[in-house]
Amino acid sequence: MQVQKTAFGGLTSYVVHQPGDAPPRLAVVLCHGYGATGTDLVGLVRPLLIADPALAEKAALIFPAAPLDLSTQGLPGGRAWWHVDLDRLINRPTPDLLDQFRRAAPAGLTESRHLLLSLIEEAGQQFGLSADRFLLGGFSQGAMLTTDVALRLPVAPAGLAALSGALINEAEWRPLAMQRGPLTVLQSHGTHDSILPFPMGAALRDLLLEAGADVDFIAFAGDHEIPPPAVSRLAGLISKAATSGRGL
């Protein structure tokens, strides 16, 4: 399957779509995690297509690269949506730090939010899709960013896939989630996650459930990773969303 490099909203993006007689019914935006390369999640394409070979005809898969270059911080090729003191989070996770992580809006979140909203607008124009025909998701930091955007769009997206994400910015997310109303969510989190401990993912799940979201939550015996069952369920979520209707 061919991967096309392009730009949407100022973000270098990698797009997978097999053009057919009709335009895609859905756009899927998957954002990578902190320190990964911009192409990191492109590796999901093959297992997604194995789960549903027609997926590339139903949907345009978009993998944006985060705006911050971490090469000078010892991560050649690594990128981030905002800066994180990863050493402190992993090695000195005091209760105060974890509470601050949960409640505060990290510096840089607003800028990345605007970039992703611009991506949705420009990609929507290219593919003829409204915002409710976008399925947003990502891994770790990318999951947090897409959760933030999913709660702020004028209309609910077709779905949200938060893979090893966490609750952050609670002061803003809680009222936004209550106003958002029903949202279809796939969420996964490792019970032995050494970077974002399981309770951080469970807190996001609980908030979304409280707000009335339909949450398919996968708790798996693993670390900070994307397990095969999450990929399979993601393929199912994309297929279901792609056949549920098409915005104009």
The CATH number given to whatever domain includes residue 227 is 3.40.50.1820
Reduced to 3 states, what is the DSSP secondary structure of residue 28?
Answer: strand
In the DSSP assignment, the letter for residue 212 is: T
pLDDT for the residue numbered 93: 67
Domain assignment of residue 247, yes or no = no
pLDDT for the residue numbered 9: 95
Amino acid at 104: A
pLDDT for the residue numbered 38: 95
- Average pLDDT of span 176-199: 95
Task: Answer positive or negative: Cα dihedral of 9, 15, 19, 22.
Answer: negative
Burial of 140 (0-12, 13-18, 19+ CB in 10 A): buried
- State how far the alpha carbon of 86 is from the alpha carbons of 91, 99, 248, in Å: 8, 15, 42
pLDDT at 138 over 80: yes
Q: How confident is the model at residue 74 (pLDDT cuts 50, 70, 90)?
A: confident
The string of pLDDT tens digits covering residues 139-158 is 999 999 999 999 999 999 99
Domain assignment of residue 107, yes or no = yes
Residues ≥6 apart with Cβ < 8 Å to 20: 57
pLDDT at 44 over 70: yes
- State how far the alpha carbon of 43 is from the alpha carbons of 21, 46, 59, in Å: 26, 7, 16
pLDDT for the residue numbered 87: 64
Domain assignment of residue 248, yes or no = no
Q: In the chain, how many domains are there?
A: 1
pLDDT at 130 over 80: yes
Domain assignment of residue 84, yes or no = yes
Domain assignment of residue 204, yes or no = yes
Domain assignment of residue 68, given as a range? 4-242
